[in-house]
Amino acid sequence: MNSAASVPPSAPAQAQRKPLRALDDALAELLAAAQPLTASHRVPLAQADGCVLAHDVVAQLDVPGFDNASVDGYALSTNDAAAALSSGLPQSARIPAGHFSGPLVSGSVARIFTGAPLPSHANAVVMQEDCELVKTDAPGGGLVRLQQAPTAGQNIRLRGEDIACGQVVVAKGTRLTPAHLGLLASIGQAQVEVLKPVRVALLSTGDELVMPGTVAPDALPPGAIFSSNGFFLSTLLKRLGAEVTELAIVADTLAETTAALQQAASAHDVVLSTGGVSVGEEDHVKPAVQSLGSLDLWALAIKPGKPFAYGRIHRAGASAGVGQSADFAHFVGLPGNPVSSFVTFVVLVRPFIDALLGVARAGVQAQPMTAHFNWPKPDKRREFLRVKRNAQGGLDLYPNQSSGVLTSVAWADGFVDNPPGQVIAQGDTVSFWPMSQCM
C-alpha cells in the first residue's frame, strides 16, 4: 500500500473544485436564457390578481367622466360669493350622485352629494360643515350662508383628472395588483388579456425522502426524512401565479427518470428539481437531463445555495420552425438543503419566472439596518443570513444558520445580504432584504 503514487483526482474523488460564479453573473445568464412566453388568454378581472398583462390597456373614456363634487355640500358660482357670505343664497336644486341636473340658477346654490355631477354655471363646492342654514319666512324656506369665501374649483374633481381617454392605463408586462384591478374596473374593463401561467413541473429527488402523511412521524424509517422542499417551492411558485404539477418521486432507474423528465418537458415550460445537483451526488436526474438536452452545473458564490444547475430538455417531435420556446423546456436544479433551496429560489428562480412572462421586476429593495449581533466568521461567499427585526429597530440573527435548518427561514422576516468575507459587529449597518419582498 505504501507504493502508492499521487495521481490527479479521478473517480470517485474526481470532483474538481469548480470556479465559483458570482450571483449577479449567474442571474444575468439565467435571465438571458429566458425567452418570454407569449401565449395569452382572457380572464375575468376579478380573477386577474397577480396575472401579467399581455397588452397595453387603453382608456376608452375619461375618468371621471364629468366634473363632480368631491364632498357633500353646496355647489355655487363664485360670482355669487358676496351674497353667499352675507345674507345667504336660496337652494334651487338637489343633485344626488348619479343624477344630472340642469344649469345652476344664478344667485342660488344646489345641494350636492359626493360624486354627483357639478351643474353648469357652478364652479365651486362648499363642504356642508362650512355652511349654515339661515331660516326665512319664504316658502320652502332657508338660505345657505357660507362661513368663508369660496375659491373657484374648490372641492371639484375635473373630468379626465384621473384618466384621459386614449391614455395607456396599465402597460403590457405589468403584474396586476389589487389597485390595478380597481383601476381597470374604473375604465369599464370586465375582462383582461393576460399571459397564461408558467407551467412548472416540480420534482423532489433523494432516496431518503418520504412524503408527509404516508407514515406517522414517530414511525419514520431510519435514514429517511420527510420531503419538505416541494411544499414551500410549490407555494412560492403559486404565489407567482405559476401552474404547478408535482411529479411523483420517480423510480430509481435512469430509464424511468429519463422517461419521466421527457414527459414533464412536453407539457411544462420549466422542470424544477430540488436535490441531486451537487457535484458528486447519486442521482439519475443529471444524466437524464444530459441525455435529453444539456445541463450546466454551477457553483454559486453564495451561502447557502452553492450548487445550482440550469439546462434544457428538448421536446420530442418539436420542429425547429415553431420558435425556440416550443422546442425545449427549461431545467432548473436547486440544492436539496431546504434553506439553500429557498434562497436560490428567491434570488434566481423568482426573477427567472418573471422573465419568462416578460415582467421586468425591480430587484429586492435592500434597506440599511443595524445589526444587533456579531458575525465574526464570515464565509468567502456572499451570505444570506436569516434575521428578524426586533423591538429596538435592529436586527437579531437566528442562532443556527445551517442550511439544513428551515426553522431559520420560518422565523426570519428577512435576510442580511452580507458581502464575501465581511465581518459584522454589533452596531454595524447591514443590507436587509425584507421577506415581504422575497415571496
Which of the residues 150 through 209 are near its own copies (CB under 8 A)? Answer: 157, 161-163, 169-170, 177-191, 206-209
Contacting its own copies within 53-82 (CB under 8 A): 59-61, 63-66, 70-74
231 binds its own copies (CB under 8 A): yes
Contacting its own copies within 289-328 (CB under 8 A): none
Alpha carbon separation from 352 to 26, 345, 364 (Å, rounded): 11, 9, 14
Contacting its own copies within 356-375 (CB under 8 A): 365, 367
Report the residue number, 264 or 277, with the smaller CB distance to its own copies.
Answer: 277
The C-alpha cell 423546456 sits at 329
E strands along 364-422, which residues? Answer: 367-371, 382-389, 394-397, 414-418
8-state DSSP, 30: H
Report, in Å, the least distance between residue 199 CB and its own copies.
17
Contacting its own copies within 237-266 (CB under 8 A): 238-239
Report the residue number, 293 or 354, with the smaller CB distance to its own copies.
Answer: 354
Report, in Å, the least distance between residue 127 CB and its own copies.
9
Judged on CB neighbours under 10 Å (0-12, 13-18, 19+), 121 is: middle
Report, in Å, the least distance between residue 356 CB and its own copies.
20
- For its own copies, how many residues bind (rule: CB under 8 A)? 136
Pick one of 134, 152, 255, 360: the residue that binds its own copies (CB under 8 A). 134
> Are 151 and 124 within 8 A, CB to CB?
yes
Q: Which among 1-9, 30-38, 265-273, 326-334 is the span making contact with its own copies, rule CB under 8 A?
A: 1-9
351 binds its own copies (CB under 8 A): no
Pick one of 45, 249, 259, 318: the residue that binds its own copies (CB under 8 A). 45
Q: Which among 25-33, 220-228, 321-329, 371-379 is the span making contact with its own copies, rule CB under 8 A?
A: 220-228
Pick one of 24, 25, 256, 282: the residue that binds its own copies (CB under 8 A). 282
What is the number of other CB atoms lying within 10 angstroms of the CB of residue 242?
24
> Are 53 and 176 within 8 A, CB to CB?
yes
Among candidate residues 404, 401, 406, the one with its CA nearest the CA of residue 416: 401
**Cβ density class 322-344: b for 16+ within 10 Å, e for less:** eeebeebbbbbbbbbbbbbbbbb
Pick one of 228, 291, 370, 422: the residue that binds its own copies (CB under 8 A). 228
> Are 370 and 429 within 8 A, CB to CB?
yes
Report, in Å, the least distance between residue 87 CB and its own copies.
6
Pick one of 12, 139, 321, 376: the residue that binds its own copies (CB under 8 A). 12
Contacting its own copies within 385-404 (CB under 8 A): 389, 400, 402-404
Quick check: helix, strand or coil at residue 29?
Answer: helix
Q: How many residues appear in the chain? A: 439
> Are 53 and 194 within 8 A, CB to CB?
yes
Contacting its own copies within 106-125 (CB under 8 A): 111, 113-117
